[in-house]
Chains A and B, each alone.
Chain A
């Protein structure tokens, strides 16, 4: 046995790898997320019946699909630890910051998989006329980072509660609302013809600030949430 570098980053990566391995074997979260996304996209497609949607409606519906699909799966990383009673061992051996970091990386990968499936499907079945692809990608990445930072922390808070599902949605929604407004507005600007990135400067600034604030806040608060 030898003592390894005890950096939080390497421990967070170990937590991420463990979660990834567990997920690949159990499909605990990915199935829930992907099924929800598929059903929602097809339901919206069926409801609008091929009618053309304005940019704001396209952007709003896209983020509704991404957000609600992510709600069905992103809480699982913490909920599963509590439900399967493995959280105690994790608490005993792993520093809180590494647990949060690992769970955030895992949720980001999960949300990226969701986006890679949802966005093309949304484009095919509902319609997504992207005119500024770089801006669209920037907004999707920042929006996803914000969702992950917020929902991972919310998942840690609700994981010990008895009514996890309802509480997760109730707790996450007000926190996510400013992010959703900016993400929808930024996405709409990527959909309008002849748009340029500078047109969405305010949205990008707010989204970057949101991600930084929620991530820093998460690491400050998580120690108390995890250990108490």
Chain B
């Protein structure tokens, strides 16, 4: 499956405030787009527009899959997202969260399969603990597990190493390097910007 992300003339403004304008990029399969800029420059907003959570004021973000153009909410089934804005259910266990999101995404997983996935992010011993008992770093690891649940063609990482310890950062680096498909990283970390085949600098 050939996939590409096309961002054309994207602009977002709120009453009295222009967030960004004239954002253009074409990202092909296997490539990484890095987005950077000072706080409030619109990095998270750009990711939210790509996910179809908010509408752009001008322009569009299109995911082309084998020539078929998807935009807005049509893109969502092909997305994996790790973001401070994305929160899992605190009152459910990690395994229950993964089962639930698998169910509503139309995927069926066996318990062993999910436990193996948790092991990949270093949470194999905590799968039956409720998420409210997790540290912020463990919650971030669980978000990676969820984001990769449906093998997304487009993986969006907003502050990918936020709250992670050194081992967690190495894990995030491994996921970034091994991801097949398109990767979009919103970050201010110089080391993470190095992954980008293209870089969008907001707030210039």
Contact = CB atoms under 8 A, between A and B. Distances in A.
Interface of A: 1-6, 10-11, 14-15, 17-18, 21-22, 25-26, 84-86, 88-95, 98, 227-228
A93 B90 CA distance: 17
Contacts, number: 77
Nearest to A2: B108
Contacts of A90: 104
B51 A86 contact: no
B108 A1 contact: yes
Contacts of A3: 106-108
A interface, by DSSP: helix, strand, loop or mixed? helix
A1 B87 contact: no
Nearest to A13: B103
A86 B89 contact: yes
Contact of B91 (A25, A88, A92, A98): A25
A21 B81 contact: no
Contact of A4 (B55, B79, B101, B107): B107
A93 B104 contact: yes
Contacts of B79: 92
- For the complex of A and B, list the 6 residue pairs with the smallest distance between their C-beta atoms, beginning with the closest: A6-B106, A14-B103, A94-B104, A85-B87, A4-B108, A25-B91
A86 B103 contact: no
Given A1-B109, A11-B104, A88 B53 contact: yes
Given A1-B109, A98-B104, A227-B52, A92 B92 contact: no
Contacts of A89: 86-88, 101, 146
A92 B107 contact: no
A159 to B, nearest CB: 15
A86 B88 contact: yes
A227 B105 CA distance: 16
Interface residues on B, range: 20 to 34
A21 B100 CA distance: 11
Contacts of B53: 88, 91
A63 to B, nearest CB: 33
Nearest to A99: B104
B86 A92 contact: yes
Given A92-B51, A92-B79, A84 B87 contact: yes
Question: Which of B72, B79, B100, B104 has most A Cβ within 10 Å?
Answer: B104
Contacts of B90: 84
Given A92-B81, A227-B73, A4 B88 contact: no
B113 A92 contact: no
A18 B88 CA distance: 12
16 contacts: A2-B108, A3-B106, A3-B107, A4-B108, A14-B104, A21-B92, A22-B92, A84-B87, A85-B87, A89-B146, A91-B53, A91-B76, A93-B76, A227-B52, A227-B72, A228-B55
B144 to A, nearest CB: 13
Interface in B55-111: 55, 72-73, 76, 79, 81, 83, 85-92, 96, 100-109
Contact of B87 (A22, A88, A95): A88
Contacts of B107: 1-4
A3 B105 CA distance: 9
